[in-house]
A = this chain, B = another copy of it.
């Protein structure tokens, strides 16, 4: 995060997880978590991390970020919890992004996303960043 902030103001918001529900109630879990997410939605461009979303190379992702940076709308990346994201959140998205064809734990998803944002910004700025 600190590295990303060198390039761009950004903040990480962790919303409340729906705890104490059995896995069978995935829809209920997603619904509760959607309510918590919605409180933080501004009138910005919303990108949901979604395993059936679009994949991009890091270079294409950098181009995508560059295009977004030309707009004054805040960009919000949304990562779901254990059960994933509710349909109504997916429907709100301006863009559905897949980091991989593989399913990542949501914890790992966050780490990978942050690295890609940082990598994308360094590519945009022409800096050098490791493979």
Interface residues of A (CB under 8 A from B): 23, 55-58, 61, 80, 82-84, 99-106, 108, 111-112, 115-116, 119, 128, 130-131
Among residues of B, the one whose C-beta sits closest to the C-beta of A83 is B131
* Extra contacts besides A58-B102, A104-B112, A105-B131 (6): CB < 8 Å: A82-B131, A83-B131, A99-B100, A100-B100, A103-B131, A108-B112
Number of copies of this kind of chain in the complex: 2
Determine the chain B residues whose CB is within 8 A of the CB of A108 once the complex forms.
Answer: 111-112, 115
Q: 8 closest pairs, A vs B, by CB?
A: A100-B100, A58-B103, A55-B101, A58-B102, A57-B101, A105-B130, A82-B130, A102-B116
The minimal Cβ–Cβ distance linking A110 to chain B, given in whole angstroms, is: 12
Q: Which residues of B contact A119 (CB under 8 A)?
A: 102-103
Q: Which of B57, B84, B128 contacts A102 (CB 8 A)?
A: B57
The CA-CA distance from A83 to B84 in the complex, in Å, is: 35
Considering only CB atoms, which chain B residue lies closest to A54 in the complex? Answer: B101
A83 to chain B, nearest CB (A): 7
Complex contact B103–A55 (CB within 8 A): no
